[in-house]
Structures are given as C-alpha cells and as structure tokens.
Chains A and B, each alone.
Chain A
Amino acid sequence: MQNFANPGRFLRLAEALIPWFAWATAILIAVGLYLGLVASPADYQQGESVRIMYVHVPSAWMGLFAYTSMAVASGVALVWKHPLADLAAKATAPVGAAFTFLCLFSGSLWGKPMWGTWWVWDARLTSMLILLFLYLGYMALVDAFDDPTRGAKAAAILALVGWVNVPIIKFSVDWWNTLHQPASVSRAGMPTVDKAMLIPLLLMVVGFTTYYVTVLLLRIKSEILASRIRNLRLMQVHGSGE
C-alpha cells in the first residue's frame, strides 16, 4: 500500500488502468440502460415509472459509497499524512456531489407521479439532502485557506464528522416512519426486486462504480500533474531548484 503513495508510481498505474475502467463503464452502462429502459418489464403497480430506479438507486449508492471513500481517504490523510490521500479525498468530493444530486433529482421526478409530491421532509430525503450539503461544504472548505495543507486538514475533519450521516441515511427508513419505502436490495434476506429488474439494476450499479473509479483516477492524475507544474514554476521563480 505504501508503494502506491508514491505519486510517480501512482501515475503509471493510473494510466494503465484508466482505459480498462473507461471501456468497462461504456459497456456496462450501455447494456444496463438498454435492459433497464427497453428490455425489462414494467412494474405491477408503478408501470413504466419504475425505470427511474435504474438511475436513481445506483446514484444513491454511489453518493454514499463516494462519501465513505472520501472519509476513509481523509482519515488516512490525517493519521498517516500521505499526500495522495488528501488528493484522493479532494478529487472524490465533486463526483460524489454529482451522484447525490442525480439521486435527489431523479427521486423528485419519481416522487411526483408515484407519491404525488416532488419533495417531503421525511428522514430519508432530508438526510440525503444533508449529504449533498456536506459535499458542497467540503468543496468550499478545502479551497478556503491560502495554505492548501490547512484547507485539506479542516476539510478532512469535516468529511470524517459528516460520515455519521451515512448510516443515518441507510437506516432512516427502518428507524423512523418515512414516506420512502424500505430497502429492496441491501436488506436481510432476498432482494424484493424481481430478477428481470434486478439484473439491469446491478449492471448499472457496477457501471456507475467503474465510472467513479475512472473519473477519480483521472482527477487524481490531473491534481498530481497540476502540483508538478506548480513546483516547476516555483523553481523558475526562485532560480535553480537545487
């Protein structure tokens, strides 16, 4: 693990991995969308509206997964002071925020025809909105200091404290009465989604995950290159870098 903390080694590894993850993403999402939007059956009570699930559920999971990886990277950065861990956490935030926004947006579009409302302040929806605000707060905080290491430290603490929201989101539908229904897939016992719908859903979940990995590697790579350019410029300004 220590070896990958070397930026040069990480860059070579990332460059080798990115095309594989990018192609896997393209294929999985294409097949998943075709199966989900065209080939899979309509739901017995929700009809065609159920197809929003194939975008809504993967983006919700990725919103939580990305936040969890951001918190882990922040913890590693605080304890072990690996520069790459800070970069990874910083690179994750906008991607996770985008997934969370997509989840809230698609959920709103789904809520209107099924529940009869775009939005309610129930525990699941509210805690998911707080997750979006945590991402936005992280992104604002990490760049709010003149000294980037101070910004990274403050933002890392925010990411760790905010993680307390992740289990609240997951279990909100079990702990309290909510308008949102309980979990269908990640629950004790068999999934309550029919196989014809579960397969496209899981393809989309894997596709969203490989997309996340692709974008994350690209973003970390560009952050490393940007800091190299910064160092080269500094060396030019201060004369030779020796």
Chain B
Amino acid sequence: MTPRKKRRLMILAVAALALFSATALVLTAFEDNIVFFYSPTDLTKKTIAPDRRLRVGGLVEEGSVKRTPDNKAVQFRVTDLDHTVPVVYGGLLPDLFREGQGVVAEGKFINGVFQASEVLAKHDEKYMPREVADALKKSGQWAGEGGKTSAKPAGGQAAPEAKK
C-alpha cells in the first residue's frame, strides 16, 4: 500500500470512529424521545404533566377487559407484570386485540385513568401454524404472548430489565 492510500485509509477510520461515537452519544441523549411508548413501570418513575399526550404499552391483563357502565367504551388494564395502568377507549379495537395480547395505547391521563384516543396491537416475533401453537399449549411448553406461563411480556419490550 502506498503512503497516500494508507493515509486515506487512516482518515477514513478516524472519521468513522468519530461519527459512531457522536451518533451513540446523540442517541443516548435522546433516548426518551425515541422510545415509542412507556411501560407501566416507566410511568411509576416519571412525573407526567397532566395534559401531556403519551403512549403506554404492555399486555392486556387477563380478565380485565369489560364495557364501561354507560356501554360507550371498553376498559382494560395494561400490564408489564410489575405494574398496571387502567385504560378506557371508545374507538374501534384492532383485530389482534384480546386479553394477553401486546397493545400500545395513545392518549392522556385523566384522574389516574388513561383515556386512549388510539389503541394499536403489538404482536411478538413468533410465527407458527395454528396446529403447532395448539400442540405447544397442550404440552405446557407455551411461553408466548397471552400464555399464563409467560415470564415477561411480548418480546421483553415492556419489561424494565430490557431497557438500556
């Protein structure tokens, strides 16, 4: 390698190192703005301004889904298996919405209840035919979303230990 080529390679390497360090610092600094939603545990650690819009994500707690007394909305609790957040939502729920399913709700807190204006379904990274899923559930090896044996929520996303 000629000295000029070696010098150009060195410049490239140093520039790359600087660029990667700068990006890592920026991403760490803006982490709070990059996350798409907060888990219920995140919310216990934060002070939220009363009118602030935000997103809450986690699993729909088993047995928590019911109609509100006036029958105009659905209420349920979002859990990360450590903490829960009560949610009320009056719109159309996505097809994948069910108890034990991952969801992300957008809205704001009113008197400690999360008033959602949009609810999105979040599914995990597992893909399998129905027969395989049934067989796993039967043999008790089911560890997926909605499973009673589930140690942590969808893909570890909402779990506090998965946070960097």
Contact = CB atoms under 8 A, between A and B. Distances in A.
B35 A176 contact: yes
Contacts of B39: 177
Given A42-B130, A80-B5, A181 B124 contact: yes
A61 B87 CA distance: 37
B132 to A, nearest CB: 6
Contacts of B96: 45-46, 114-116
Main secondary structure of the interface of B (DSSP, over half): mixed
Interface residues of B, number: 49
A15 interface: no
Nearest to B154: A181
A53 interface: yes
A168 B27 contact: yes
Interface in A133-182: 160-161, 164, 168, 173-179, 181-182
Contact of B125 (A116, A161, A179, A181): A181
Contacts of A87: none
A13 interface: no
A120 B36 CA distance: 9
B133 A44 contact: yes
A41 B134 CA distance: 14
Contacts of A42: 129-130
Contacts of B155: 173, 181-182
Nearest to A127: B34
A192 to B, nearest CB: 5
Contact of A182 (B104, B125, B163): B125
A184 B104 CA distance: 20
Contacts of A122: 36
Nearest to B157: A177
Interface in A26-48: 41-46
Given A113-B95, A123-B34, A177-B158, A184 B127 contact: yes
Contact of B126 (A41, A192, A196): A192
A50 B12 contact: no
A115 B128 contact: no
Interface of B: 5, 8-9, 12, 15-16, 19-20, 23, 27, 31, 34-39, 57, 93-96, 104, 118-134, 145, 154-158, 162-164
12 contacts: A41-B131, A44-B132, A79-B12, A115-B94, A115-B121, A116-B93, A116-B120, A160-B12, A160-B15, A161-B19, A181-B122, A184-B127
The 4 closest A-B pairs by CB, nearest first: A116-B94, A41-B129, A44-B133, A194-B128
